[in-house]
């Protein structure tokens, strides 16, 4: 029995493209369906007794390598997603926050992100973090540079943990969909003792029911953190 409550869940939403291809659809149709699936998982997390934060990997610093048309579609989808989700955030007490290098997004999209953060800032049931133009290495380097600018000459682990872009707790449990078993530059600092789970389910097929079953697996794990 896991004595550490699951407070911070992280999810690498992977497999949208394969989901679409399997159905003879364009990759972007997979992204569209994938975006719709976030709501159910978020509301599940909002009603869960111990989860305080759920962080979704939505766009990595490496995803700019994709065809221009796909990247542009993802940007539009993100804007539409935030606009449509506001109602869900307010109804379920979800605070929205973004992490990543947002300055590379269009001014309109940056505005939408900031506005959504502002409008939901007093919600307390759950924090939903979207990692957008996010890279784990970049986050660590940015944090160290900020500390240097502030005059630090020697940097501790505690300094980094408390000066990350959004200084939030370590990840307890990381789930990746689509059968790929890698981290792809997600939350490198925060996952040092996270429990990992890889499911073959493609993200557009991932339901709250499957999440519920996977969380039972977390409950059975013994976390030792290097102890006995």
The residues annotated as belonging to the active site are 14, 63
Q: Give residue number: closest CB to ligand IPE.
A: 17
The phi and psi torsions of 134 (rounded to 5 degrees) equal: -105, 140
CB of 181 to ligand IPE, least distance (A): 10
For Mg ion, the closer of residues 2 and 185 by Cβ is: 185
57 makes contact with ligand IPE (CB under 6 A): yes
CB of 102 within 8 A of CB of 132? Answer: yes
Q: Are 139 and 65 in contact (CB under 8 A)?
A: no
Nearer to Mg ion, 18 or 39 (CB): 18
- Report the half-sphere exposure of 40 (CA within 13 A, side-chain side): 15
Would you state the structure tokens that stand for residue 160, as one six-digit string?
């980094």
C-beta separation of 15 from 176 below 8 A? no
Q: How far is the CB of 57 from ligand IPE (least distance, A)?
A: 4
Give the nearest distance from C-beta 14 to ligand IPE in angstroms.
5
Q: Which of 6, 8, 17, 29 binds ligand IPE (CB under 6 A)?
A: 17
Does residue 101 bind ligand IPE (CB under 6 A)? no
Q: How is residue 154 written in tokens?
A: 């020697």
Residues 25 and 32 sit within 8 Å (Cβ to Cβ)? no
13 near ligand IPE (CB under 6 A): yes
SS3 46: helix
CB-nearer residue toward ligand IPE: 11 or 94: 11
Q: Are 15 and 178 in contact (CB under 8 A)?
A: yes
The yes or no reply on residue 14 touching Mg ion (CB under 5 A) is yes
Query: Can you give the binding site for Mg ion, defined by CB under 5 A?
Result: 14
Query: Can you give the binding site for ligand IPE, defined by CB under 6 A?
Result: 12-18, 57-60, 63, 74, 178, 180, 182, 184
């Amino acid at each position: 029995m896991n004595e550490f409550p699951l407070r911070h869940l992280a999810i690498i939403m992977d497999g949208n493209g394969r989901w679409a291809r399997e159905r003879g659809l364009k990759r972007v149709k997979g992204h569209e369906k994938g975006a719709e699936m976030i709501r159910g998982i978020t509301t599940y997390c909002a009603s869960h007794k111990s989860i305080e934060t759920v962080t979704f990997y939505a766009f990595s610093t490496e995803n700019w390598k994709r065809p221009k048309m796909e990247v542009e579609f993802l940007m539009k989808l993100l804007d539409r997603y935030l606009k449509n989700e506001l109602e869900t955030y307010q109804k379920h007490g979800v605070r929205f926050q973004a992490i990543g290098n947002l300055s590379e997004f269009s001014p309109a999209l940056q505005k939408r992100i900031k506005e959504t953060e502002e409008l939901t800032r007093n919600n307390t049931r759950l924090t939903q973090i979207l990692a957008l133009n996010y890279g784990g290495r970049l986050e660590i380097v940015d944090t160290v540079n900020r500390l240097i600018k502030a005059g630090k000459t020697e940097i501790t682990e505690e300094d980094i943990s408390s000066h990350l872009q959004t200084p939030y707790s370590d990840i307890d449990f990381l789930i990746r969909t689509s059968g790929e078993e890698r981290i792809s530059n997600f939350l490198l600092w925060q996952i040092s003792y996270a429990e990992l789970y890889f499911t073959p389910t493609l993200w557009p097929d991932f339901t709250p029911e499957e999440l519920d079953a996977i969380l039972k697996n977390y409950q059975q794990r013994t976390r030792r953190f290097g102890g006995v």
